[in-house]
């Protein structure tokens, strides 16, 4: 186990961030796909289901709170920020066990929601910690491939949660599905104990002062310095432009994905289990291959250029597919749309996240990147909530065309403006 050192092995970095995101994807696929589709299939209204989905995703919008806390207390004998990962993994797994008390998801909606929200709180802290570690230990030349592994892991985990746990939910009941999720989370938590960031890191915690060999900086940075540097980093004009474009693209793509699933179940009368399995199984292998290839392509051609290609391809497909909505009642056509759109979020992420990582300054990686991700997640939550109400006024095809047109407009803005370069640390700005 002594050889499992992240800074010394590229293969270990790829594997570690892959499985850490599988761990995040399983409950996301279960809660936001399998359970949401199940509630829709039980006849609950769009606003009720949308409110459930938004509440489960809401803790992920608070990552800007966790980032400064993680960066403030980043040093430990377990490794820089690793203590946050291990602790939150344990608590998130325990929160998952609360789902075992739910026997009837519809009748016990409050308990169901509470368990998922508590899990999301600690999972969001874990995600913020993992992202900060990735920025700190992954060389810039590997960031595209590592992001491909991250999004690929999340896709695989989401597929297992959406398709696998949906199948278990319908065949064996909610208890067995929740038990399978909890067991997987606990197993991955044990695995995390044996991965070191530096060779001098310990596998088990120890109370008292940090040994000199475990310190990478003189001390944990003061909060005043953290917030000052964070403000400087995120208010740089070109950075704001790039992030605004990425966030709005996430909002548009997420809004249509939620609306399309609801349309298939409520308007075209597909079984909710069938939709979940299609979302989580068929096409996932192709998408996983696309992510790995996309990560390597981002390292080769540049993430900025890849972002333009992804936005153009997805927006064009969205406009054309929604314009042909009269053919959605043909199952092969609707299935094709579902499978292609399964690639939207991962494809956008593998291009966008290396760009955002490149903007992050040393020692505030956690604060800066989690601020970006919190706002992206806020767009997703707001999109699902607003879409639930919007579907009472407009149809999913109309909503989809509108989202596609907005993304094409954003793309035109990307081509007209120079994209920002990575933010370099100000000399002498690090606290001593």
Tell me the pLDDT tens digit for each residue of 168-184: 999 999 999 999 999 99
Number of CB atoms found within 10 A of residue 420's CB: 18
Mean pLDDT value across residues 278-304:
65
What 8-state DSSP symbol labels residue 422?
P
* Residue-averaged pLDDT of the chain: 81
Residue 261, C-beta contacts closer than 8 angstroms, at least 6 positions apart: 33, 36, 37, 40, 275, 279, 338
Residue 142 to residues 99, 130, 331, 373, 419: CA-CA distances in angstroms? 38, 16, 41, 20, 20
User: Nearest to residue 367, comparing CAs of 242, 192, 221, 152?
Assistant: 221
The mean pLDDT of 271-281, rounded to a whole number, is: 75
Residues 96, 101, 104: CA angle, nearest 5 degrees: 110
Residue 358 has pLDDT above 90, yes or no: no
Please tell me which residue, 371 or 327, carries the higher pLDDT value: 327
- CA–CA separation, 154 vs 183, rounded Å? 18
What pLDDT is attached to residue 425? 43
Q: What is the CA radius of gyration of the chain?
A: 21
Domains of the chain with CATH codes: 6-195+221-416 (1.20.1250.20)
| pLDDT score of 53 more than 60 | yes
Cα dihedral 173, 177, 182, 183 in deg (nearest 10): 110
Q: What is the pLDDT of residue 424?
A: 44
Q: pLDDT at position 206, please? A: 59
């Amino acid at each position: 186990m002594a050889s499992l050192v992240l800074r010394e092995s590229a293969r270990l970095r790829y594997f570690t961030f892959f499985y850490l995101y599988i761990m995040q994807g399983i409950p996301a696929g279960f809660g936001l796909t399998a359970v949401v589709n199940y509630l829709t299939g039980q006849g609950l209204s769009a606003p009720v289901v949308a409110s459930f989905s938004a509440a489960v995703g809401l803790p992920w919008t608070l990552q800007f709170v966790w980032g400064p806390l993680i960066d403030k207390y980043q040093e430990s004998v377990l490794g820089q920020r690793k203590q946050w990962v291990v602790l939150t993994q344990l608590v998130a797994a325990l929160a998952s066990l609360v789902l075992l008390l739910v026997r009837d998801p519809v009748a016990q909606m409050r308990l169901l929601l509470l368990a998922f929200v508590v899990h999301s709180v600690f999972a969001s802290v874990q995600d913020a910690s993992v992202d900060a570690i990735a920025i700190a230990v992954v060389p810039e030349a590997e960031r595209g491939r590592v992001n491909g592994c991250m999004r690929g892991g999340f896709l695989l985990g989401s597929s297992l949660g959406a398709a696998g746990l949906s199948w278990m939910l319908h065949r064996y009941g909610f208890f067995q599905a929740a038990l399978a999720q909890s067991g997987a989370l606990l197993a991955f938590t044990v695995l995390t104990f044996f991965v070191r960031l530096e060779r001098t890191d310990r596998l088990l915690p120890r109370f008292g002062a940090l040994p000199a060999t475990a310190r990478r900086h003189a001390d944990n940075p003061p909060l005043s310095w953290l917030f000052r540097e964070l403000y400087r980093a995120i208010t740089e004009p070109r950075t704001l432009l790039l992030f605004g474009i990425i966030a709005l693209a996430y909002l548009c793509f997420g809004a249509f994905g939620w609306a399309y699933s609801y349309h298939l179940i409520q308007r075209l009368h597909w079984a909710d289990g069938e939709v979940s399995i299609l979302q989580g199984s068929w096409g996932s292998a192709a998408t996983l291959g696309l992510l790995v290839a996309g990560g390597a392509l981002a390292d080769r051609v540049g993430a900025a250029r890849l972002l333009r290609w992804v936005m153009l391809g997805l927006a064009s497909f969205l406009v054309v597919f929604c314009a042909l909505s009269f053919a959605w009642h043909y199952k092969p056509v609707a299935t094709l749309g579902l499978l292609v759109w399964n690639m939207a979020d991962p494809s956008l992420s593998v291009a966008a996240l290396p760009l955002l990582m490149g903007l992050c300054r040393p020692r505030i990686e956690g604060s800066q990147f989690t601020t970006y991700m919190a706002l992206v997640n806020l767009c997703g939550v707001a999109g699902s909530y607003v879409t639930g109400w919007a579907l009472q006024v407009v149809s999913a095809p109309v909503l989809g065309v509108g989202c596609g047109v907005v993304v094409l407009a954003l793309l035109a803005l990307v081509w007209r403006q120079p994209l920002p370069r990575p933010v370099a640390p100000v000399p002498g700005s690090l606290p001593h």
